[in-house]
């Protein structure tokens, strides 16, 4: 049975753009802005599932790496 939700791990690139990788399927996309990324993820999912039923929801999980000085 297919999952009801796809989970994408989203990271912010050094140039300010975003990259999204699905954790359960071979789906990856990038964009310059968050709004553009949302559209690109939907397009990528629709393309991946072009001939089959796609999950009802897509979850974008933003992973932020931050380094702080201890002093």
CATH classification of the domain holding 54: 3.30.2390
User: Which has more pLDDT, 1 or 16?
Assistant: 16
The answer to whether residue 69 is domain-embedded is no
pLDDT one-digit tens code per residue, 13-70: 988 899 999 999 999 999 999 999 999 999 999 999 999 999 999 999 999 877 889 8
pTM of the model: 0.86
Cα(66)–Cα(21) distance, integer angstroms: 20
In the predicted structure, residue 1 carries a pLDDT above the cut 90:
no
The answer to whether residue 68 is domain-embedded is no
- Is residue 22 within 8 Å of residue 8, measured between CB atoms? yes
Q: For the residues of 24-67, what is the DSSP string, one character each?
A: SSS-EEEESSHHHHHHHHHHHHHHHTTTSPPPSEEEEEEE----
Domain that holds residue 40: 5-63
Contacts of 71 (CB under 8 A, 6+ apart): none
Number of compact structural domains in the chain? 1
The answer to whether residue 13 is domain-embedded is yes
């Amino acid at each position: 049975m297919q999952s009801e939700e796809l989970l994408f791990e989203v990271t912010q690139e050094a140039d300010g753009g975003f990259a999204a990788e699905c954790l359960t399927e071979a789906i990856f996309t990038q964009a310059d802005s968050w709004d553009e990324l949302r559209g690109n993820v939907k397009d990528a999912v629709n393309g991946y599932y072009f001939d089959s039923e796609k999950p009802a929801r897509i979850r974008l999980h933003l992973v932020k790496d931050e380094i702080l000085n201890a002093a």
